[in-house]
Amino acid sequence: MLWTITIACLLLAGLIFRQSFRNRNEAAEMAGEDAGLAIVEFGRAFPEEAIRAMISTANGRTVFLRLHDGKAGVMHAHGHHYTCHLIEPGAVRVAGAGPKRLSVQFSNASFEGGTFEFRDEKQAAEVSLWLLGSFMPGMAGPRPQIVGQPN
């Protein structure tokens, strides 16, 4: 009888431990990965690009990046992995979808767009400026020209 109670207590303790471990993993996945992992993943995908700033969405699943030369990048978390995308000039359309939300569509289908919600209006405005600032028509051609410089 004592062995039965001991085994039942051990099984109950194992189930409680397993459930708490599962809840902890699900909470980390729902909150998105940390910023350090996002930087490492983007650096692995695009080693020649330097990150100046980054803003994540309210749920932490998508991270928008401002790069060193005026370009922009975006990463979306899929579990413990990120899909990284370097935004090419003219390849994005941005529209406001509310005070803290942006609707983003990419013309090439290599990255999914959608509606992204940020923590506040300032972050949404900043990301929209990054995305729209990555559209540099003078830089898209074979001979990049700087505005105000002679040909």
Domains of the chain: 35-137 (2.30.29)
Over residues 50-70, the mean pLDDT reads 87
Q: What is the pLDDT of residue 142?
A: 47
Q: CB under 8 Å to 20, separation ≥6 — which residues?
A: none
Q: What is the pLDDT of residue 82?
A: 78
Question: 99-140: per-residue pLDDT in tens?
Answer: 889 888 887 766 678 889 999 999 988 988 888 775 554 444
pLDDT band at 25 (very low <50, low <70, confident <90, very high): low
SS3 of 129, please? Answer: helix
Q: Pull the structure tokens for residue 43.
A: 């650096």
Residue 51 buriedness (CB in 10 A; 0-12 / 13-18 / 19+): middle
Q: What is the pLDDT of residue 111?
A: 67
Answer whether residue 9 shows pLDDT above 50.
yes
